[in-house]
Amino acid sequence: MDISLLLQLAVLLGVIFLGVRLGGLAIGYTGGLGVAVLALVLGMEPGKVPYDVILIIMAVISAIAALQLAGGLDYLVRAAERLLRRNPKNINFLAPTVTYFLTILAGTGHTAFSMMPVIVEVAKSENIRPSAPLSIAVVASQIAITASPVSAAVVFMSGMLEPLGVSYPKLLLVWLATTYTACMLVALLINLFGNLDLSKSKAYQQRLADGLVQTHKADGRGELPAGARTSVWIFFGGVVAVVLYACAISPAVGWIEKPVLPRDGAIVSFMMIIASLIVMCCKLDTGKLLDMSTFKSGMAACVCVLGVAWLGDTFVSGHIEAVKETASALVGNYPWLLAVALFFASMLLYSQAATAKAIMPAVVLALGITPENNSQVYILVASFAAVSALFVLPTYPTLLGAVQMDDTGSTRIGRFVFNHSFLIPGVLAIVFAVALGFVVAPLVL
C-alpha cells in the first residue's frame, strides 16, 4: 500500500467522519469537499456525478410533497393509526408493518416520522416499552427502501441487473419477500424475548414521578382537506403504473420490446404526472409546496447523495483494478462478504442509493458477470438489503426522532454511542434479509 493510497483513503474517511459529526446536509457538503481534495490535491480523476439517482429522488419527492399538501399523507397516517389502535396488543408486529408499507408506497423512510407518536401512545396503553415497536419500525422504514419500486436504490439496481438477465418482477418479488419477512422475524424475537414490561423500567418510573410522561389526549386534529382521499388514489394509481410499465419493458416480460422511454425517465415523468394530477384535481396552492416537510427532507437527501455518491465513485473508479481483483477473490469465494462491505459502506454513506451506486458496478466487473455468464448475479440480489445500515450511527433523522418522541425514556442512545435501541434489531433484520436472499434468490432468478 503506497503513500498516495493512504492519503486518498484518509481523505475519504476523514470527510465522511467530518460530515457525520456536523450532521444534516454537511455529509453532502463534505463529500464535495472530498472530491475537490482528491482531484485538485491528490490528482485523482473525478468520478461520475449521480444525476440519475438525484433526478429520481427529486421527482418522487415532488409528487410526495403534492400528496402531503393535499392531505393524502395525513389520510394514510390516520388509516394506519386506526389499525394500530384497534389492535394494540399486536403493536410490535403492526408498527413495522405500517412503516414498511408506507415506505414501499412513498419511496422514502421519512414517512415513519408521522407514525412515531401513535406508536408511543399505543405501546404505553398496553404497558409495552415503546422502544420495542419503535426500534423495529424505524429499521423497517429503512430496509423497505430496498423493495420500493419508486426508490432510487431499487431503480438503480434493477436498471443495472436487468441487462444481465434478471427480470424486474422477479427482483421485486425477492426483495419484498425477504425484507418484510426479516422485519417480522425480528418483531417475533422482540415479542418473545424482549424486555417489554414498561412498568419495570426505572427510567420510566423516574420520568413518571417527574411529570415528564404525557397521558393520551383526545385527537384534536381538524377535518382532512376535501381532496385527501383523491390524492391518495392518484398517487397509488401512479405507483401501480410505474410498476406495470417497468414490467412491460422488462426483457423477461417483453410486452414493449423497444421502449421509447427508459425506466429512469418513466419514473421521473410518471411522478411529474402524478404531481400534476394531484395539483389540478385537488386545487392546490402550488406556492405552498416548497414549505412541505417532505420536500425539504427530500431535497436535503439529494444534496447528501450528490456529495457522498460522487465521492465514493471518485475513490472506487481511481482504484477500479485493485477493487476488481480484491472483490473477485473475496466475493467469489465468500459471497456473503459483499453484504458485509455494503453494510459498512452504507453506515458511512448514509444512503442506500449512494452505497449501491458506489459499490455494485465494481462488483459486477470484478465477478465478470455478463448476460451470458450470470450465474453469480444472485449474490448482488441477495446482498442488496445490506445497504440499509443507516441505523448504526445514531445520527439518522428517523432514529433521532424516535428517541425524542418516546417520553418514557425507553428508547435511548447509550454513553458508548453504538449501544442504542436500534442496533440489535437493525443488524438482525439485515442478517435475516440477506440470509433469506441467499436462499430465495437462486430459486427465483
For residue 341, with 0-12 CB atoms within 10 Å meaning exposed, 13-18 middle and 19 or more buried, which class applies? middle
Examine the domain organization and report whether 183 and 282 are in the same domain: yes
- pLDDT above 60 for 1: no
Examine the domain organization and report whether 165 and 40 are in the same domain: no
Examine the domain organization and report whether 109 and 37 are in the same domain: no
Examine the domain organization and report whether 59 and 203 are in the same domain: yes
Number of domains the chain contains: 2
For 324-379, give the DSSP string: HHHHHHHHHH-THHHHHHHHHHHHHH--HHHHHHHHHHHHHHHHT--SSS-TTHHH
pTM summary value: 0.79
For 364-380, give the DSSP string: HHHHT--SSS-TTHHHH
Q: Name the β-bridge partners of 413.
A: 420
| The pLDDT value given to residue 218 | 46
**Which CB contacts under 8 angstroms, 24+ apart, belong to 238-242?**
238/63, 238/270, 238/271, 238/273, 238/274, 238/277, 239/105, 239/149, 239/150, 241/270, 242/149, 242/150, 242/266, 242/267, 242/270, 242/271
| The pLDDT value given to residue 162 | 87
Q: Map residue 420 onto helix, strand or coil.
A: strand
Query: How far is Cα 32 from Cα 314, in angstroms, rounded to an integer?
Result: 11
* Mean per-residue pLDDT, 303-313: 81
Cell, residue 405: 418522541
Single-letter amino acid, residue 169: P
Cell, residue 249: 419493458
Instruction: Identify the top-confidence range among 113-127, 140-154, 408-422.
Output: 140-154
Give φ, ψ of 178 to 5 degrees.
-75, -40
What is the percent of the chain where pLDDT is above 90? 31
CB–CB of 368/322 below 8 Å? no
Examine the domain organization and report whether 329 and 212 are in the same domain: yes
Examine the domain organization and report whether 296 and 382 are in the same domain: yes
DSSP letter at 407? T
Taking CA atoms, 109 is separated from 113, 193, 201, 316, 430, in Å, by 8, 27, 29, 27, 16
- Categorize the per-residue pLDDT at 265 as very low, low, confident or very high, splitting at 50, 70 and 90: confident
Examine the domain organization and report whether 393 and 430 are in the same domain: yes
Examine the domain organization and report whether 305 and 263 are in the same domain: yes
Examine the domain organization and report whether 135 and 10 are in the same domain: no
Taking CA atoms, 137 is separated from 115, 218, 383, in Å, by 9, 24, 21
CB–CB of 331/379 below 8 Å? yes
CB–CB of 438/385 below 8 Å? no
Instruction: Give the range of the structural domain holding residue 21, as residue numbers without chain letter.
Output: 1-46
pLDDT digits (tens, 9 = 90+) for 357-380: 878 888 888 888 888 888 889 999
CB–CB of 281/234 below 8 Å? yes
Examine the domain organization and report whether 15 and 68 are in the same domain: no
pLDDT digits (tens, 9 = 90+) for 187-199: 999 999 988 888 8
Cell, residue 339: 453484504
- pLDDT above 90 for 143: yes
pLDDT digits (tens, 9 = 90+) for 391-438: 887 667 778 778 877 888 888 877 666 778 899 999 999 999 999 999
Examine the domain organization and report whether 139 and 192 are in the same domain: yes
| The pLDDT value given to residue 216 | 54
Cell, residue 267: 419514473
Examine the domain organization and report whether 436 and 319 are in the same domain: yes
* Mean per-residue pLDDT, 211-240: 79
